[in-house]
Amino acid sequence: MCQNLEFPRNRRLASLLIVLTCSFPAWAFAAEPELGGYCAMGLVNHQRIKTDCAINWTSKEGKLYCFSSEATKSEFLTAADENIQRATDSYAAADIDETASEMGKFNSDDAQTYVDGFIKDQSARNGGAFVLEDPVTDTSIPLVYEGIDFTRTIDGYGFFPDVRFHAKSDEAQKYLVDFWVVPRNGKLAILETRIYKTPVKEGGGWSMMQRQPKPWWWIPAAEHPGQTEQKRSWEIMSAIDGYIETEGKGGVLTLKDDKTGEEIALNYVDIHQPVRRLKDDGQYFVCTDFRKAGTNDQFYDIDFWVGAQEGKMTVTKVKVHKVPVLVDGNYVQKPRYNFNSETFDEIP
């Protein structure tokens, strides 16, 4: 592979480059292997066989697949497109299994103990109040901790303690707040906090009302067992939540407006439901609400496209759908484009 390469005229540098370059096989300089470098045919058969990728194949899309032997490679290529999908699905399922295995080091009691300690510590630092940032109303709400109601568990995704609070200013104003807890490097961590139910004035007293749309982690409870033919809405929404948590800094996601080129700092508010699946390419499509950072009345509708990459549900595109426009002294959302309802299906 070295005879057609051009090297610098500096003889010592050229010699070093020749040694380094020619010491590795050609596949070492190709694209990153798909599916974690596991044997693609092994994954088709639900086996995780790690390879050095010396035996490989590159698809027409430029993706590199590895194999444990020439025989498994030949078998895979007899139906490459079908086997790519099977291997991708198998790898995704195994990845969830690994996360579930990490969760196996903890249980719901551990999650409750962790959240209980976190709330008490934060309350002690703030004069007895747990200060909750509410993105929907753009306010900081001082709450008094009452206790943990119960904890739900979704294998491969985390623990979800449902916590009781009341407003510091009025004990009759009750809140239910969800904490999303996940294992990170052998320890538990809070990934997201969201209000599930808020106090509403009714007559002479207060009652609690569930916010809409409800958090994605409440959806699996309403599903029928065995509903695994396609990705479910809560799996798509969890991928978007994860993207926002990873890409955002200090609760602020910075997005470049593809039309104006402006860098917009946005505070995440919520995800719209239902989730939709595009008929032409099979990707999933979700609308979300964000507030422009530093304002309380300028809202953007941001669209996310989600698809399978390297065996995981991944955000593949983000685009501004609606922008805030000042009309008669108030901001309203103006759409930049619309979708034809015949081009997608709604998924449960």
Residues 15-36: tens digit of each pLDDT: 433 434 444 444 444 467 888 7
Per-residue pLDDT at 213 exceeds 80: no
Sorting pLDDT into bands at 50, 70 and 90, what band is 96? low
Domain chopping of the chain, boundaries: 24-103, 108-211, 233-347
pLDDT of residue 26: 41
d(CA 302, CA 227): 29
pLDDT, averaged across the chain = 81
Per-residue pLDDT tens over the stretch 296-342: 889 999 999 998 776 677 888 899 999 999 888 888 889 998 878 78
pLDDT of residue 144: 97
Per-residue pLDDT tens over the stretch 66-85: 999 999 999 999 999 888 87
Q: Which residues of 272-301 are buried (b: 16+ CB within 10 A; e: fewer)?
A: ebebbbeeeeebbbbbbbbbbbeeeebbbb
pLDDT of residue 164: 95
pTM above 0.75, yes or no: no
Instruction: For residue 139, list its beta bridge partners.
Output: 134
Per-residue pLDDT tens over the stretch 222-277: 443 333 334 677 888 888 888 887 787 766 889 988 889 899 999 888 888 788 88
